C-alpha cells in the first residue's frame, strides 16, 4: 500500500511539474525578448547607461509586459562583446540592440543566430548579421547635396580632416554622385591649419590685390590734390604771389604722379575696381574722400574666393578652429555659405561668432528636445546624443513584431521606410538611411531650413 501511495505521489508531482513547465513555456512563447549589449562599466559606461535608460523610457511608453530586455555589459571590448552575444544566444534571443562602437562589431559574425542593431554610424566592414542605425555619413551628405542644389550652389568645396573618419566620408561623397568643385584633406593641427586655409582661400593673392588697389586709390587722391594745388599756384602766379619755377615744379610732380598712376592702372583688374567702387561708394573723381580710403584700409583682402560654399567635416572645437581660420583669412558667411555635418545641436556653436549662419543636417529638433526633457524628468540629467536612436529602435522592434510577426530578421526589411522620433528612416543593405532636415545657426538659435 505504501508503495502504491509513493508511486502515485511521484506521478502527481511529475505531472504537476510537466504542466507548470508547459504553462511557463506557453507564457514565455508570447514574450518578445530583446537583447542589449552596451558598456555598463568602464570609461564609456555613461553612454551605455544612457542607452539603457532610454530603452526603459521606451518600454514605459509601449506599456506592454510581453516585451523584455536582456542587458549585457560588454565593457566596450570586442572579446567581451562576443561573450555577451553568446550568452544572449543561449537565452533564446534573436534580436539585439547594440553594440555602440564600430570596433566592437568585429567578432559578431560568429554568432549568426543573432541580428544586431548597432548604434554605430560607420558603414564599412560590417558583419553580415549587423545593421548599423547611426546617423551615418551617407545620410548627412545626401541631405547636404539636396540643400546645395536647392540653394543653386555650384562651386562647393569639401574639407575632410585627416582622421579615421576620412575614408568613410570620402566614400559617402563618391556615393552621392555629386560633382564637388574640390575635396581637400586638411591637418587639424593649429600650426598647419591656418596656412592651409590661407592657401585654399588664396589669402596672399587677395591681400596683394587689396594693397595694389589701395595704392591706386591713394595715387588718385594725390593727383587730385596736386591738381588742386597747381590750380591755386597758377592763380597766385597770375597775381604775382609766386614765381614761375613753383608752377613748373608742381607741373612736373603732377606729370610724374600721372605716369605712376597709368602704370598702376594697367595692372588693375577693371572688373574688380568697378565692384570695389560700388561696394565702398568710391568715385575716384574730385568727390573722393579720405574717409572712404580709411574704410578700405580696414579690410584684409580684396576679391572673392573662387567657391560659393564649403562643407567642413568636423565637430566641436575643431569645427570652431576651422571657421575662425576662415575669418582670419577674410572669408565669412557674408561671402560664402558654410556647411558642416550633424552637430547634434551642440549649443556651444550658438555662442561662437565664426559659426553664426552655418548650416548642418540633423534629426528632428522638436522631437529630440522633447526626448531630452522627458529623460531629464526621469533621471535628473540629460541623455547622451545617440540614446534617442535606441529609444526609437525598440519601438520599431515592438511595432514590427506586433504588426508583421515575430520573424524580425526578415520583416524589418519589408517596409520601405519608418517614421520615429528622429524622423524618417529606411533600411537598405544592412544600413539605416536617415532622411535628415537642414538647420542653420542664426543669432543664437537653431532654425529649420527645409520645411
Name which residue leads in pLDDT, 307 or 204: 307
Going by pLDDT thresholds of 50, 70 and 90, the confidence category of residue 307 is very high
* 204-237 residue pLDDT tens: 888 887 777 777 777 777 777 777 777 887 777 6
**pLDDT at res. 283:** 57
Q: What's the rounded mean pLDDT across residues 381-401?
A: 91
Q: What's the rounded mean pLDDT across residues 147-170?
A: 93
Contact (CB, 8 A) for 219 and 257: yes
**pLDDT at res. 269:** 65
Contacts of 107 (CB under 8 A, 6+ apart): 78, 79, 81, 82
Contact (CB, 8 A) for 362 and 439: yes
On the question of pLDDT at 6 being above 50, the answer is: no
On the question of pLDDT at 4 being above 60, the answer is: no
* Separation CA 352–CA 348 (nearest Å): 7
**% of the chain residues with pLDDT over 70:** 81
* 25-68 residue pLDDT tens: 334 567 889 999 999 999 999 999 999 999 999 999 999 888 99
On the question of pLDDT at 441 being above 90, the answer is: yes
Q: What's the rounded mean pLDDT across residues 106-121?
A: 95
Backbone φ and ψ of 351, nearest 5°: -100, -5
* 75-109 residue pLDDT tens: 999 999 999 999 999 999 999 999 999 999 999 99
404: buried, middle or exposed (CB in 10 Å: 19+, 13-18, 0-12)? middle
**pLDDT at res. 16:** 42
Q: What's the rounded mean pLDDT across residues 375-384?
A: 97
Q: What's the rounded mean pLDDT across residues 301-318?
A: 88
Q: What's the rounded mean pLDDT across residues 16-23?
A: 38
Q: What's the rounded mean pLDDT across residues 157-175?
A: 93
Name which residue leads in pLDDT, 132 or 13: 132
**pLDDT at res. 214:** 74
**pLDDT at res. 361:** 97
User: For the domain bounded by 29-135+366-414, which CATH number is listed?
Assistant: 3.40.50.2300
Name which residue leads in pLDDT, 33 or 268: 33
On the question of pLDDT at 244 being above 90, the answer is: no
**pLDDT at res. 209:** 77
Contact (CB, 8 A) for 102 and 164: no
Q: Where are the domains of the chain?
A: 29-135+366-414, 137-202+305-362+438-448, 209-297
SS in 3 state form for the chain? CHHHHHHHHHHHHHHHHHHHHHHHHHHHHCCEEEEEEECCCCCCHHHHHHHHHHHHHHHHHHCCCCEEEEEEECCCCHHHHHHHHHHHHHCCCCEEECCCCHHHHCCHHHCCCCEEEECCCCCCCCCCCEEECCCCHHHHHHHHHHHHHHCCCCCEEEEEECCCCHHHHHHHHHHCCCCCCEEEEECCCHHHHHHHHHHHCCHHHHHHHHHHHHHHHHHHHHHHHHHHHHHHHHHHHHCCCCCHHHHHHHHHHHHHHHHHHHHHHHHCCHHHHHHHHHHHCCCCCCCCCHHHHHHHHCCCCCCCCCCCEEEECCCHHHHHHHHHHHHHCCCCCCCCEEEECCCCCCHHHHCCHHHCCCEEEECCHHHHHHHHHHHHHHHCCCCCCCHHHHHHHHHHHHHHHHHHCCCHHHHCCCCCCEEECCEEEEEECCEEEEECEEEEEECCEEEECCC
On the question of pLDDT at 279 being above 90, the answer is: no
Contact (CB, 8 A) for 119 and 98: yes
Q: Say which range, 186-200, 360-374, 381-395, has the weakest mean pLDDT.
A: 186-200
Note whether 29-135+366-414 and 137-202+305-362+438-448 share their fold: yes
Question: What is this structure's pTM?
Answer: 0.80
Contacts of 50 (CB under 8 A, 6+ apart): 383, 384, 387
Name which residue leads in pLDDT, 142 or 239: 142
Going by pLDDT thresholds of 50, 70 and 90, the confidence category of residue 302 is low
**What is the architecture, at CATH level 2, of domain 137-202+305-362+438-448?**
3-Layer(aba) Sandwich (3.40)
Going by pLDDT thresholds of 50, 70 and 90, the confidence category of residue 301 is low
Hey, what's the cell of 301? Answer: 583682402
Amino acid at each position: 500500500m505504501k508503495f502504491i501511495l509513493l508511486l502515485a505521489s511521484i506521478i502527481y508531482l511529475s505531472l504537476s511539474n510537466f504542466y507548470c513547465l508547459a504553462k511557463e513555456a506557453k507564457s514565455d512563447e508570447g514574450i518578445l525578448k530583446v537583447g542589449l549589449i552596451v558598456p555598463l562599466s568602464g570609461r564609456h559606461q555613461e553612454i551605455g547607461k544612457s542607452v539603457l535608460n532610454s530603452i526603459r523610457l521606451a518600454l514605459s511608453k509601449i506599456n506592454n509586459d510581453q516585451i523584455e530586455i536582456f542587458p549585457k555589459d560588454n565593457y566596450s571590448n570586442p572579446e567581451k562583446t562576443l561573450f555577451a552575444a553568446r550568452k544572449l544566444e543561449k537565452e533564446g534571443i534573436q534580436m539585439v540592440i547594440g553594440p555602440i562602437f564600430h570596433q566592437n562589431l568585429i567578432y559578431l559574425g560568429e554568432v549568426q543566430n543573432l541580428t544586431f542593431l548597432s548604434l554605430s554610424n560607420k558603414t564599412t566592414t560590417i558583419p553580415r548579421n549587423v545593421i548599423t542605425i547611426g546617423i551615418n555619413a551617407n545620410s548627412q551628405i545626401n541631405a547636404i547635396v539636396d540643400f546645395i542644389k536647392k540653394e543653386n550652389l555650384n562651386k562647393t568645396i569639401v574639407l575632410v580632416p585627416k582622421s579615421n573618419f576620412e575614408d568613410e566620408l570620402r566614400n559617402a561623397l563618391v556615393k552621392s554622385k555629386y560633382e564637388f568643385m574640390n575635396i581637400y584633406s586638411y591637418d587639424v593641427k593649429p600650426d598647419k591649419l591656418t596656412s592651409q586655409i590661407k592657401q585654399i582661400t588664396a589669402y596672399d593673392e587677395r591681400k596683394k590685390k587689396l594693397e595694389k588697389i589701395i595704392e591706386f586709390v591713394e595715387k588718385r587722391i594725390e593727383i587730385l590734390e596736386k591738381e588742386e594745388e597747381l590750380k591755386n599756384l597758377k592763380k597766385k602766379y597770375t597775381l604775382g604771389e609766386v614765381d614761375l619755377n613753383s608752377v613748373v615744379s608742381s607741373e612736373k610732380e603732377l606729370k610724374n604722379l600721372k605716369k605712376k598712376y597709368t602704370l598702376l592702372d594697367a595692372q588693375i583688374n577693371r572688373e574688380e575696381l568697378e565692384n570695389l567702387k560700388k561696394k565702398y561708394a568710391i568715385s575716384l573723381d574730385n568727390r573722393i574722400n579720405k574717409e572712404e580710403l580709411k574704410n578700405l584700409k580696414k579690410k584684409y583682402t580684396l576679391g572673392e574666393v573662387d567657391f560659393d560654399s564649403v562643407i567642413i567635416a568636423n565637430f566641436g572645437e575643431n569645427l570652431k578652429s576651422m571657421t575662425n581660420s576662415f575669418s582670419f583669412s577674410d572669408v565669412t558667411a557674408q561671402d560664402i555659405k558654410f556647411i558642416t555635418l550633424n552637430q547634434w545641436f551642440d549649443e556651444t556653436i550658438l555662442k561662437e561668432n565664426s559659426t553664426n549662419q552655418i548650416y548642418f543636417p540633423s534629426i528632428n529638433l522638436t522631437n529630440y528636445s522633447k526626448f531630452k526633457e522627458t529623460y531629464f524628468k526621469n533621471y535628473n540629467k540629460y541623455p547622451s546624443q545617440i540614446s534617442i536612436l535606441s529609444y526609437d529602435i525598440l519601438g520599431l522592434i515592438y511595432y514590427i513584431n506586433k504588426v508583421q510577426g515575430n520573424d524580425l530578421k526578415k520583416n524589418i526589411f519589408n517596409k520601405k521606410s519608418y517614421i520615429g522620433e528622429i524622423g524618417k528612416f529606411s533600411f537598405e543593405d544592412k544600413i539605416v538611411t536617415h532622411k535628415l532636415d537642414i538647420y542653420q545657426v542664426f543669432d543664437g538659435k537653431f532654425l529649420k531650413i527645409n520645411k
